[in-house]
Structure 1
Amino acid sequence: MTLIRTVAATAAITALATSSFGQTARDIRGASPYVTIEQEPSPRLIVDPPLAEGLSQGVFWAQYRVENLHIASVFGEGALQASPRLGHLHIIVDDLPWWWADASDNNTVDIAGFPPGPHKVTIALVDANHNLIPGQVTTVPFVIPDSAPAPHVHPVN
């Protein structure tokens, strides 16, 4: 009976290890930066809903990830030839006429100081020359509760 249990346990561990560790480094991390990627798949932006813990404080925290594009602070026409592709995010708050570029790839957009009420943040995936990647714009609506603390205002010198 002990031999049967040992064999069964070994088989279960082997199956778990094979499914968990069967992926290659390339499967998880993507292509090597040393080889040009032929027929690169289209870039994709995935944005989660904002974290409730932030909204209660007047802060927008939304995690994101990007597929088939490397976010880096490399800009300009020459960077468009890089493989794997390079790009960054453009972020717009409440349809204001300005945006900012985020090339940090830190996995979370962090914007503080929202007053209570409805807001939205638009996150766009762009190439290294600031051109929008078609279909890769996400608008995230959210509401800051009335119970959120008043935004901190920094004095201007």
Structure 2
Amino acid sequence: MHPVLKSLSAAGIAAAFCASVSAQPAQDAVRPPAILPLGSEPAPKLVPYAALPEPLARGVVIVQFRTENFRVMPVFGNAAAGISPRIGHLHVTVDDTPGTWAHTSDDPIIVVGLAPGPHRLRLELADPGHRILATEVVAFTVPDVKGSGSAPASASGSHRH
């Protein structure tokens, strides 16, 4: 037995133990540490939703998404790839074109100016070093909004009889 413990009575040991435990908040005893090794975290997941129908009817594509075990933020560089919980950004590509942009917030993805017809939005969950961790595709069809409007009123206001 440790020499200090030998000199304490059982009541003294219990009192010292209770004092050290009561100095810590009760929730710390059951809460996991704030930082976990990345190897012990579940895989990140990307969950996109279908384009919102009302804006899409006007030709505006708005896609909401959520992530699991991952936070989207404007952080880049390999040094940040080991941070726990995982952080990173989305790579967004429209119709497999060569142009891809980084989406760095939890805000919805908004795309305007697409031609009427079917399109695909590829969303890639990327770590700060741009390594792809998950990929999802959202398919949608942009309606022809020009053909759905009403005919403009006559500018002259004159009528022929």
Contact 1:51 1:62 in 2 (8 A): yes
For residues 98 and 114 of structure 2, the distance between their equivalents in structure 1, rounded to whole angstroms, comes to 17
After TM superposition, which residue ranges in structure 1, 4 or more long, deviate above 2 angstroms? none
Contact 1:54 1:60 in 2 (8 A): yes
Give ranges in structure 2 of 5+ residues lacking alignment. 1-30, 148-161
Counterpart check, 1:137 vs 2:151? no
Give ranges in structure 1 of 5+ residues lacking alignment. 1-30, 150-157
Deviations 1:78-108 (A, max 9, x none): 10121111111000011101200011222x1
For residues 122 and 41 of structure 2, the distance between their equivalents in structure 1, rounded to whole angstroms, comes to 26
Counterpart check, 1:127 vs 2:127? yes
Q: Superposed, which structure 2 residues align to 1:1-157 within 5 Å?
A: 35-38=34-37, 39-106=40-107, 108-133=108-133, 136-147=134-145
In our comparison, the structure showing a higher alpha carbon Rg is 2
For residues 125 and 84 of structure 1, the distance between their equivalents in structure 2, rounded to whole angstroms, comes to 14
In structure 2, the residue corresponding to 1:66 is in which secondary structure?
strand
Change (3 A) 1:130 1:66: same
Deviations 1:84-140 (A, max 9, x none): 11111000011101200011222x11111112111111111111111100xx21111
Question: What's 1:11 paired with?
Answer: none
For residues 75 and 111 of structure 2, the distance between their equivalents in structure 1, rounded to whole angstroms, comes to 23
Q: Give aligned pairs, total.
A: 115
TM superposition shift of 1:35: 2.2
Question: What's 1:21 paired with?
Answer: none
Contact 2:81 2:128 in 1 (8 A): yes
Letter in 1 for 2:36: I
Letter in 2 for 1:139: V
Change (3 A) 1:148 1:87: farther
For residues 142 and 98 of structure 1, the distance between their equivalents in structure 2, rounded to whole angstroms, comes to 19
TM superposition shift of 1:54: 1.6
For residues 62 and 146 of structure 2, the distance between their equivalents in structure 1, rounded to whole angstroms, comes to 15
Deviations 1:47-86 (A, max 9, x none): 0111111211111111100010111111101101211111
| RMSD after superposition | 1.9
For residues 42 and 89 of structure 1, the distance between their equivalents in structure 2, rounded to whole angstroms, comes to 16
Letter in 2 for 1:123: L
TM superposition shift of 1:148: 5.2
Give the alignment's TM-score, normalised by structure 1.
0.68
